[in-house]
Structures are given as structure tokens and as C-alpha cells.
Amino acid sequence: GQQLNQSPQSMFIQEGEDVSMNCTSSSIFNTWLWYKQEPGEGPVLLIALYKAGELTSNGRLTAQFGITRKDSFLNISASIPSDVGIYFCAGQVAGGTSYGKLTFGQGTILTVHP
């Protein structure tokens, strides 16, 4: 089956620093999604990417859909304490037996020190 490798597994940073995380896949996706999950809650969608090479921003967050369609990147600029949480990438394939199903990365745990 499809595998998603997300890195880093965890990050400990100072408030104000920029953050980068990425996901790589062994196969191609049509859609890349980035979610944030806070403790005891469900994931909340941050950014959705639909085209290879697409670069999309949402406030201090910027995500890119890799040219090869096998990877995606998320950057957070000028981090603040409320950025704390687990960030998940997810790839989606349209068509075939995987229609609509999401494959998730293992998550990046972000800790921000004030």
C-alpha cells in the first residue's frame, strides 16, 4: 500500500522561529492536505493543494505541492505558542480502488517555547 513518510517526528523551537516539515511518498497523489491536531481534538484542515507545483498560503502558513506529486512541504513563519500541536500531511488519490481515501503521515509534534 501507499506509504507516507513525514519528517521531522518532533520539533522544539523558540517563539518567533520559522518551522519547516515535509512529507514524501512512494507513489503519486492528486491532492495533498495539511491538518493540525490539538490534544484531545480532531484534526483541523489548514491547507489543501490540488496541482503539482502549487504554492498556497494561509496566514503564516505556506504549503507546496511537489513537482513530482510525491512530496509536499509546510512552512510556518514567526511561530507563536498557539502553533503547538501535531501537524499531519495527508495524500489523496482520485480513482481506482483508492478513490477518496486519505493516506496520513505519522505526524510532526511541534512544541514552541515562549
Partner 1 sequence: DGGITQSPKYLFRKEGQNVTLSCEQNLNHDAMYWYRQDPGQGLRLIYYSQIVNDFQKGDIAEGYSVSREKKESFPLTVTSAQKNPTAFYLCASSLAAANIQYFGAGTRLSVL
Least CB distance from residue 77 to partner 1, whole Å?
24
Residue 1 binds partner 1, judged by CB under 8 A: yes
Name the segment binding partner 1 (CB under 8 A); options: 11-19, 57-65, 72-80, 104-112.
Answer: 104-112
Q: Per rule CB under 8 A, is residue 12 in the interface with partner 1?
A: no
Q: How far is the CB of 16 from partner 1 (least distance, A)?
A: 28
E strand segments, the chain: 4-7, 10-14, 19-25, 31-37, 44-49, 55-58, 61-65, 71-76, 85-92, 102-104, 108-113
